[in-house]
């Protein structure tokens, strides 16, 4: 597979593991020294990222189902083929067992990627809930690469 195909796979795994509430699988997608930024704060390293995920899932009502859809991914692999960056829109549909599916959250994920032992991981993820987020971290360039 190409690097861009591997990055698309990483994004798909992130969405599917969120839906499955697979915390171990989600944490494994991040580099050991990765950081995540969202409205609640900045979480550094796999330990803090795991705590953030545990807390996020614990706050959800029992019986809630989620379906995440990643779209409009703009991905760039740097010349070193070891790092990259991207922006992806993520739509989260939610339902309770007896209610219809509804679009609940629209977000844009600003990501940086790094290869760890030859495999792509998130090195930085900033989650922008559309309409209400001021990013404190460095911006991601608008460079586009198409394979």
% of the chain residues with pLDDT over 70: 88
pLDDT digits (tens, 9 = 90+) for 101-146: 999 889 999 999 999 999 999 999 999 987 544 445 445 444 444 4
56 pLDDT more than 70 = yes
Nearest alpha-carbon partner for 109 in 26, 31, 11, 33: 11
CA distances from 4 to 13, 90, 113 (A): 14, 18, 11
- Mean pLDDT of all residues in 77-106: 93
**30-34, 39-43, 83-87, 136-140: range with lowest mean pLDDT:** 136-140
Domains of the chain: 3-129 (3.10.450.50)
Amino acid 131: pLDDT: 58
d(CA 49, CA 12): 19
Q: What is the pTM for the complete model shown?
A: 0.86
Amino acid 87: pLDDT: 96
Amino acid 66: pLDDT: 93
d(CA 96, CA 67): 12
1 pLDDT more than 80 = no
Name, in order, each residue with C-beta under 8 angstroms of 17's C-beta and a sequence gap of 6 or more: 25, 26, 29
Mean pLDDT, the chain, whole residue set? 89
pLDDT digits (tens, 9 = 90+) for 93-106: 999 988 899 998 89
Residue with tokens 């460095």: 138
């Amino acid at each position: 597979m190409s690097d861009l195909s591997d990055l698309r796979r990483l994004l798909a795994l992130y969405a599917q593991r969120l839906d499955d509430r697979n915390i171990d699988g989600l944490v494994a997608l991040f580099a050991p020294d990765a950081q995540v930024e969202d409205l609640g704060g900045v979480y550094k390293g796999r330990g803090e990222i795991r705590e953030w995920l545990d807390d996020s899932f614990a706050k959800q009502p029992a019986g809630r189902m989620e379906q995440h859809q990643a779209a409009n991914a703009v991905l760039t692999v740097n010349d070193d083929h070891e790092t990259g960056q991207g922006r992806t829109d993520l739509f989260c549909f939610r339902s309770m067992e007896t209610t219809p599916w509804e679009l609940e959250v629209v977000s844009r994920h600003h990501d940086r990627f790094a290869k760890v032992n030859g495999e792509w991981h998130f090195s930085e993820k900033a989650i922008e809930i559309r309409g209400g987020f001021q990013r404190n971290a460095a911006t991601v360039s608008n460079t586009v690469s198409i394979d």
